[in-house]
Amino acid sequence: MDRYVVFGNPVGHSKSPMIHKLFAEQTGQSLDYSTLLAPLDDFSGCATAFFQEGRGANVTVPFKEDAYRLANSLTARAQRAGAVNTLSKLADGSLLGDNTDGAGLVRDLTVNAGFSLTGKRILLLGAGGAVRGALEPLLAEKPASVIIANRTVEKAEWLAELFCDLGPVSASGFDWLQEPVDVIINATSASLTGDVPPIAPSLIESGKTLCYDMMYGKEPTAFCRWASEHGAAVSMDGLGMLAEQAGEAFFLWRAVRPDTAPVLQELRRQLGL
């Protein structure tokens, strides 16, 4: 039976084994998927040992950049992201690195939420790895503009310069912006501590702006609550992104695209949402 894992540290909380088990059952694929706690100081050794027999792996924090360095070849989106969340062993034994996070975000917005990003003004909050992974797939949707807002503006400027060949992308501080936008995506970790990035409520056009938090939990995140309180048309958490990035990885490994809708429904049921 083909073996897959998710590498992380910590990793016991991961929902990936359940997600991929449901995908396998749904598509009639025979595989074994489990968690693998990699040592913080030797991801490379742990992954190399696994791939003696294993077929593929997901990679979560803090190893996405380690996986990027380990891969023998990279997809274009992984190269752009500078990080790898999916490894696949090819027929010649080499490792292909991919990044499915941004594609998962875009599928959640466009397929699950039915929201077109074409011609929209998008505001991305943060300038870390999550934003870098999201930029290429977002710009491929042909938005009117993408603004990267961050506390340290230099980081946002660096990302804007890195991706400017793909579309209209610019940088900003959190407090520079006042005019409404169509989409606000929170890619900071502020929700983990119950905080909201310091942005103006005027960025939300009542009844029109879609707000998206890459984080999720049993309760609405602080950002989603803030968005609803200030009149956002839709406020979404990142659970759909989790399911969709997993679906992208499954498709890469098995050449079969699973239906994520029932899996996402089961995730929400388990969280009591």
Q: Name the token pair of 125.
A: 């909050």
Which of 125, 33, 126, 39 shows the shortest CA–CA distance to 86?
33
Q: Which amino acid is at 199?
A: I
Please give the DSSP secondary-structure letter assigned to residue 102. H
Given the residues 15, 21, 64, 142, the one annotated as active site: 64
Cα 174–chain centre separation: 22
Residue that is written with structure tokens 């690195």 in the block: 97
Which token pair is 268? 């929400």
Nearest to 240 by CA among 209, 221, 216, 218: 216
What stretches of the chain adopt beta strand conformation (E)? 2-8, 31-37, 56-59, 73-74, 86-89, 95-98, 121-125, 145-149, 169-172, 183-186, 210-213, 234-236
Q: Any catalytic annotation for residue 142?
A: no
Phi, psi of 173 (to 5 degrees): -85, 165
Rounded-to-integer distance, Cα 87 and Cα 89, Å: 7
Q: Please answer whether residues 7 and 63 qualify as being in contact, where contact means their C-beta atoms are separated by less than 8 angstroms.
A: yes
In angstroms and rounded to an integer, the radius of gyration of the C-alpha atoms of the chain is: 18
Q: Which are the contacts of 171, defined by CB distance < 8 A and separation ≥ 6? A: 147, 148, 149, 150, 153, 156, 157, 159, 160
Name the residues annotated as catalytic. 64
